[in-house]
Structure 1
């Protein structure tokens, strides 16, 4: 691929000098040979004629880059080669200048940052397919929600939104309703809710003013608030406090190219995260929704901006409420117009709901085992998703595939799926297997994003604002009330409507002045129309289904 990296309209994000060994293009007049030798382009060149090689059946099998944003599926039983196929796809996309994001469940995918070791099985497979085998390495950025094996990834509580947070906390419908009220109170009172301590303070604020909240927003059970607080403690004990906070991730940092125009492969360390499946699934759905909200409409490009591999996809759909499933289906359907492809990686095609499965045009099916009735059903279901090949029975072939073989059907020009073919998957050119700890640290030290996310930011937000309100004197409290804080306007109206005024020296109330009478009359008129005003406010969209707020989302 030419060094300019313009083919698909992928934005070039320029980095400051010295920000990393692969973050900048070589200066004008400087040859590629002057770049670090391990990063000089080699045999695994960018795909030609807009296609990348997947493997070979009776003929080469390709993924057409222009159709890579039509999503895909990589399925198969444990040990049949799914991870290697994922690595082959990631390498090919990177060579084409497409950025990649993938979860690394076992740590094996980290080896893509190191050159391959020329194992005999890979050299032999390359010869069978008719391509040269030459070790290569790829530009990689490591990420880790816990900040141990990569750059920390954080999102604010507000960005997560009540739906995803409710699923993360395993709340029932009543508790989810209370959480929605709390988010609305935060919006109306200009309280930035960034981390768990902010959310706790907000819930306590709502509880302390439950009478006003019920009057304005609807029923509120203090027992539900207590239940949410307990679930927040559980979540914190699982390490989710490291994910919820600032600095929040800028998703454009996933879309980068190295100096040779190759797309960066973003790898999420997910070995520890897999012990917290709800956190893993909620994070990935949040990221999909953020990509959908952040990226502009671009239609069908010559190649995607980003391809997203969702490993262990069943964790997303297990026990997911219907609103969340509907939202995921909608995002998957629409996000391709943002230049993003989504590929689900799972053991069983039945793990993916039919409505989502029907949107996955590019399919790689490794071997399945049929030891139980459910397994047999999965084999039949997988076979039925392909455009049948008259030369063999698809359901039988799925059971006979060797390691490194797969049934492949990719979209052809025009968006029509190709006839399924029994295919030998091409070998990866980078290392298969994990990096050592020292090698990972070396890659992290050279990252162009080093230092951007490493330190937690704790700016003034709901926790500090509410703490100040508790400590302020009467005059300051009156000022806060006049600025629109919850209870301020309602409290003042209560006083005026009750005929309150300045206290007389004899313990009674002074006679109301003409000005006070006018204010009281206006207040009574306002109160009569309050229900109408509240009804209108209720119709305003608080935030979209998967999180985020209207206006400034990171205030």
Structure 2
């Protein structure tokens, strides 16, 4: 049998030593079972095994227990005797050791901040995150299209909020080009963004954004790094939790190159509380998850869903999960019994026992397992005692966590946020420039109006002198001037009645209207 991760075994009535073959580990898996039946320990020993084989791991720590991966177990531990007995039963030489761990936290409290940009998240996942209607999702797509066309980087929620303000102000023009852009939909999206911000979701968006290479690293000794996402606080917002993990999975799918069938995975991704991904999810999103699960294995990524009941995972996705770890299920109701029967039917039968009965009988730390064998054929179902973990069972202290974070080189890259010019600042600059231009145009128009009014009110100055005896009497001179003025007026009026005169009048009036 090829290189693999040792899972466990047993004595009389249990399986011979069981291992998960590394070359089939990217064909995904399922860890299922009721609360308190040992799913967390199974997840922990799998993470240890993959790390020891040089495979990086990503997992979410929903209850805070998995931080113990960073610290070696000890013979002083109260369960050491039980662990030693189990190790002897399954033929394991129990040794204690830690694993290289990097702590992450969307809120930047129990781990290094982990961020993405609004543009990278995209309108589909954002719509899912905020629970938008189809019409509202359409408006959000228009906003993203406008950002692309106008060269407006969408980095954080402030950028998206500013862009939506602009979309609302220009809704009529955008509707002619993209279809109906209702200001009511814009307002609804803004309200959902405010709710998301109040829940702390704004901390997910910004820069520096996560680089996948930092998550797929190995330690200096060649072991794969175990990336632990602190999710105990995050679980207060299940939609944010599920959307973030789906985004991360999608990024892996989009960015990693094809590697075919590698000898071992490039990364193993554990999706705990997997039912949150599928609860009330639209069909388009479920189809997307199925597509990712089907194709991402060729990128060298194994995805393991962790949930209480296999029925939490859609059947089309469940069919992609080749490695199975089924802890105890309790069939108290008719619905539970149907789920139990369905779970048992997904395994290759073992003639030595009834699978459905075994699923109800296995105790804590035991599981019904089935892993892919040579040529990718599912192994027959087996009852297995899960091996004890080598790292500490249970959480480390806050001080120990802080020390590990302080020693990590990741902190220098991600702990301090960046705030470069993006859509919010660019739209504000455009608005300021437009306001300044409007102010200058208004001032110019007011100046021109003043000049025109002064011109209309101006009086002609004749320049004559009333002093000296040689001058003619005023009355005589006035009558003479009137005669000349009348003669000139008659000539001008006559000329203006002709074609040339009409052209002159049109030219004068046209100039006045253009000036305004």
Q: Provide the TM-score with structure 2 as the length reference.
A: 0.83
Deviation at 1:372, TM superposition (A): 1.5
Q: For 1:218-297, what aligned pairs fall within 5 Å after superposition?
A: 218-297=179-258
Q: For 1:446-525, what aligned pairs fall within 5 Å after superposition?
A: 446-473=407-434, 505-508=511-514
Rounded Cα–Cα distance in structure 2 between residues aligned with 1:273 and 1:383 = 33
Rounded Cα–Cα distance in structure 1 between residues aligned with 2:56 and 2:108 = 22
Match of 1:212 among 173, 183, 189: 173
Deviation at 1:505, TM superposition (A): 3.5
Match of 1:324 in 2: 285
Deviation at 1:474, TM superposition (A): 7.6
Deviation at 1:403, TM superposition (A): 0.6
Deviation at 1:58, TM superposition (A): 3.3
Match of 2:49 in 1: 92
1:70 aligns with 2:23: no
| SS, match of residue 15 in structure 2 | coil
Deviation at 1:191, TM superposition (A): 0.5
Deviation at 1:411, TM superposition (A): 0.2
| SS, match of residue 511 in structure 2 | coil
Q: How many aligned residue pairs are there?
A: 438
Match of 1:104 in 2: 61
Deviation at 1:246, TM superposition (A): 1.0
1:516-555 C-alpha deviation (Å, 9 max, x unpaired): xxxxxxxxxxxxxxxxxxxxxxxxxxxxxxxxxxxxxxxx
Match of 2:501 in 1: none
| SS, match of residue 472 in structure 1 | helix
Deviation at 1:508, TM superposition (A): 4.5
1:338 aligns with 2:299: yes
Match of 1:51 in 2: 4
| SS, match of residue 451 in structure 1 | helix
1:61 aligns with 2:18: yes
Change (3 A) 1:417 1:184: same
Match of 2:324 in 1: 363
Deviation at 1:287, TM superposition (A): 0.2
Match of 2:399 in 1: 438
| SS, match of residue 57 in structure 2 | strand
Answer with 1 or 2: which has the greater Rg: 2
Rounded Cα–Cα distance in structure 2 between residues aligned with 1:170 and 1:474 = 36
Deviation at 1:473, TM superposition (A): 5.0
Rounded Cα–Cα distance in structure 2 between residues aligned with 1:245 and 1:304 = 30
Rounded Cα–Cα distance in structure 2 between residues aligned with 1:130 and 1:473 = 77
Deviation at 1:259, TM superposition (A): 1.7
Match of 1:521 in 2: none
Rounded Cα–Cα distance in structure 2 between residues aligned with 1:285 and 1:260 = 31
1:10-49 C-alpha deviation (Å, 9 max, x unpaired): xxxxxxxxxxxxxxxxxxxxxxxxxxxxxxxxxxxxxx94
Match of 2:441 in 1: none
Rounded Cα–Cα distance in structure 2 between residues aligned with 1:475 and 1:396 = 78
1:434-484 C-alpha deviation (Å, 9 max, x unpaired): 01001101111111212211111111000000000111158979xxxxxxx
Match of 1:405 in 2: 366
| SS, match of residue 80 in structure 1 | coil
1:153 aligns with 2:96: no
Match of 2:312 in 1: 351
Rounded Cα–Cα distance in structure 1 between residues aligned with 2:348 and 2:117 = 44
Extract structure 1 runs of 4+ deviating beyond 4 A: 473-477
Rounded Cα–Cα distance in structure 2 between residues aligned with 1:267 and 1:377 = 35
Change (3 A) 1:210 1:413: same
Match of 1:424 in 2: 385
Match of 1:116 in 2: 73
Rounded Cα–Cα distance in structure 1 between residues aligned with 2:210 and 2:351 = 49
Structure with more helix by fraction: 2
Match of 1:519 in 2: none
1:331-372 C-alpha deviation (Å, 9 max, x unpaired): 110000000000000001000000000000000000001111
1:302-349 C-alpha deviation (Å, 9 max, x unpaired): 000100000000000000111111011101100000000000000010
Rounded Cα–Cα distance in structure 1 between residues aligned with 2:158 and 2:435 = 26
Rounded Cα–Cα distance in structure 1 between residues aligned with 2:289 and 2:434 = 48
